[in-house]
């Protein structure tokens, strides 16, 4: 059998060494499975073969844990692919997300706290399942007291069944933990969240979730961050690649955007799928516009709102614009002239079928109705002047230097700050057949305010 254990080799990494092992392994496998050699193996050899395969699996587990821990410590998948190590592994090796994340967690904790577990994995004395039991038992409250027992517990592995051994480990952990087994989900007050509004409309978030709450929130935010990453990757390609106008932010930003997107969806979702399309129940948040200086938009506390957010929010019926004169009197609630009514929303659902940004898979129920020519500049709230955009692509469309245009036959096209242009999609299919109109002479014109151009098709 193959030796990929502790005495495998020299300090330098030779990429061909592992390739040779994989090649040698595939030859043996091919002989046994494809060329019928298995039928010549007698019963004793078959038993020995099964155990050798398990021994090989332990060697691979040890190597996998060491490599994953190194990958996680370097933060490589975050920097290069915008994903945490476990999610990246699940995505690329097509594994269940929970299993991959658990594998990386064990790898990380073995590397940081348990050299004895690492060396026992390396020698083949224990496998991944043993390492996971030990790591899970050593909860943060008892980790230091638990460490001296690790070697003794590993020595017990060959003396009993796995299940019996697992009970021994859990028994030691329970004895060390004065409060009994560590189960943070038992105390609801272990769930905490502090929100700290800062200057300039920022919000600091700090807290801890336990048990089911932790799992649901972690999985939902991680999964949405992965979706945003893929969406941004597609957008970056559309806007000209690595040197284009749309860059992919780091993972921590993707996670923050994912949290915000999930909250917006929860607030804007129709009561039931069957009720769509309808105007969704939404929160009603006021934005204050001063009639004498319409460029200055603030929240109800007077905090100014940045340009991109301002245009996106004003376009969205979730937010109620309140126009005030210099004496502080409300002169316009601005609702009637911009709200997309049920009939129009239904028509938009039917025409666009979801976000009209090419390649975006966000469904119509998650989308805002964006005014191509802004309502504040007398843009009409009708089918010809509105298109469905998910919150993220709505934000991109309102960024400085970007402009979205409509054609006479109600397709849309964008111009990026560097002059790239591309067509919209309907029901997930991008317009084909002829290119979007050429870039305008003034690519930095204010977003969404350019007059609709006639189609060139």
Interface residues with Zn ion (CB under 5 A) are 315, 355, 357, 360, 362, 370, 390, 393
Concatenating the DSSP letter of every residue in 388-410 gives EEEHHHHHHHTSTT-EEEE-TTS
The DSSP result for 129-172, as a single string, is HHHHHHHHHS-TTTHHHHGGGHHHHHHTGGGS-HHHHHHHHHHH
Closest to Zn ion by CB, 134 or 404: 404
DSSP strand pairing (403-406 vs 412-415): antiparallel
CB of 293 to Zn ion, least distance (A): 21
Residue 85 has which token pair? 């190590």
Closer residue to Zn ion, CB minimum distance, 360 or 376: 360
Output the smallest distance, CB 338 to Zn ion, in A: 10
Closest distance to Zn ion from the beta carbon of 285 (Å)? 16
Residue with smallest beta-carbon separation from Zn ion: 315
Residue among 338 and 393 whose Cβ is closer to Zn ion? 393
Nearer to Zn ion, 146 or 413 (CB): 413
Which one, of 359, 367, 348, lies nearest residue 410 by Cα?
348
Residue 196 Cβ vs Zn ion, minimum distance, rounded to whole Å: 30
CB of 315 to Zn ion, least distance (A): 3
Q: Measured between alpha carbons, how far is 299 from 301 in angstroms, rounded to an integer?
A: 5
Query: Cβ of residue 426: shortest distance to Zn ion, in angstroms?
Result: 13
Cβ 260 to Zn ion shortest distance, Å? 15
DSSP 3-state of 93: helix
Residue 437 contacts residue 456 (beta carbons within 8 Å): yes
Give the position of tokens 């020995």. Answer: 48
Question: Which of 91, 227 has the CB closer to Zn ion?
Answer: 227
Rank residues 146 and 357 by Cβ distance to Zn ion and give the closer one.
357
Q: How many residues does the chain have?
A: 457
Q: Is the peptide bond before 304 cis (omega within 30 degrees of 0)?
A: no
Nearer to Zn ion, 348 or 360 (CB): 360
> If you search the block for the tokens 């697992």, which residue do you land on?
166
What is the smallest separation between the CB atom of 352 and Zn ion, expressed in angstroms?
A: 11
CA 354 to chain centre: 20
Rounded Cα distance between 313 and 441, Å, is 28
The residue among 134 and 390 lying less far from Zn ion, judged by its C-beta, is 390
Spatial distance between the Cα atoms of 358 and 430, rounded to a whole number of angstroms: 6
Pull the structure tokens for residue 413: 């096209």
């Amino acid at each position: 059998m193959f030796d990929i254990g502790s005495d495998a080799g020299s300090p330098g990494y030779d990429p061909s060494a592992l390739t040779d092992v994989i090649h040698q392994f595939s030859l043996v496998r091919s002989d046994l499975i494809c060329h019928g050699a298995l039928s010549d193996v007698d019963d004793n050899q078959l038993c020995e073969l099964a155990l050798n395969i398990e021994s090989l699996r332990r060697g691979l587990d040890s190597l996998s844990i060491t490599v994953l821990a190194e990958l996680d410590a370097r933060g490589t998948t975050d920097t290069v692919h915008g994903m945490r190590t476990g999610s990246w592994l699940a995505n690329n090796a097509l594994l269940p997300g929970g299993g991959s994340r658990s594998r990386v967690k064990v790898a990380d904790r073995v590397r940081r706290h348990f050299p004895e577990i690492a060396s026992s994995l390396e020698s083949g004395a224990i496998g991944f399942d043993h390492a996971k039991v030990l790591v899970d038992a050593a909860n943060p409250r008892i980790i230091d007291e638990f460490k001296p027992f690790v070697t003794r517990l590993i020595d017990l592995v060959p003396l009993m069944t796995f299940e019996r051994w697992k009970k021994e480990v859990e028994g030691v952990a329970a004895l060390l933990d004065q409060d009994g087994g560590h189960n943070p989900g038992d105390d609801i007050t272990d769930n905490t969240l502090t929100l700290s509004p800062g200057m300039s409309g920022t919000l600091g978030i700090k807290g801890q979730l336990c048990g089911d709450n932790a799992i649901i929130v972690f999985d939902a935010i991680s999964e949405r961050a992965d979706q945003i990453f893929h969406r941004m990757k597609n957008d970056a390609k559309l806007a000209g690649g690595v040197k284009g106008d749309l860059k992919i932010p780091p993972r921590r930003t993707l996670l923050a955007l994912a949290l915000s997107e999930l909250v917006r969806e929860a607030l804007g979702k129709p009561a039931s799928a069957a009720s769509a399309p309808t105007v969704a129940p939404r929160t009603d948040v006021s934005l204050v516009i001063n009639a004498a200086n319409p460029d200055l938009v603030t929240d109800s506390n007077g905090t100014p709102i940045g340009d991109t957010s301002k245009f996106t929010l004003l376009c969205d019926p979730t937010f109620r614009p309140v126009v005030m004169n210099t004496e502080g009197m409300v002169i316009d609630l601005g609702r009637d002239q911009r709200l997309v009514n049920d009939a129009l929303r239904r028509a938009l659902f039917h025409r666009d079928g979801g976000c009209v940004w090419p390649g975006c898979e966000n469904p119509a129920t998650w989308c805002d109705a964006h005014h191509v020519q802004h309502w504040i500049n007398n843009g009409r709230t009708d089918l010809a002047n509105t298109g469905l955009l998910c919150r993220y692509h709505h934000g991109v469309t309102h960024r400085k230097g970007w402009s979205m245009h409509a054609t006479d036959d109600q397709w849309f096209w964008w111009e990026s700050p560097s002059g790239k242009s591309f067509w919209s999609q309907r029901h997930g299919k991008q317009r084909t057949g002829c290119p979007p109109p050429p870039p305008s002479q003034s690519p930095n014109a204010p977003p969404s305010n350019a007059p609709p151009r006639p189609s060139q098709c």
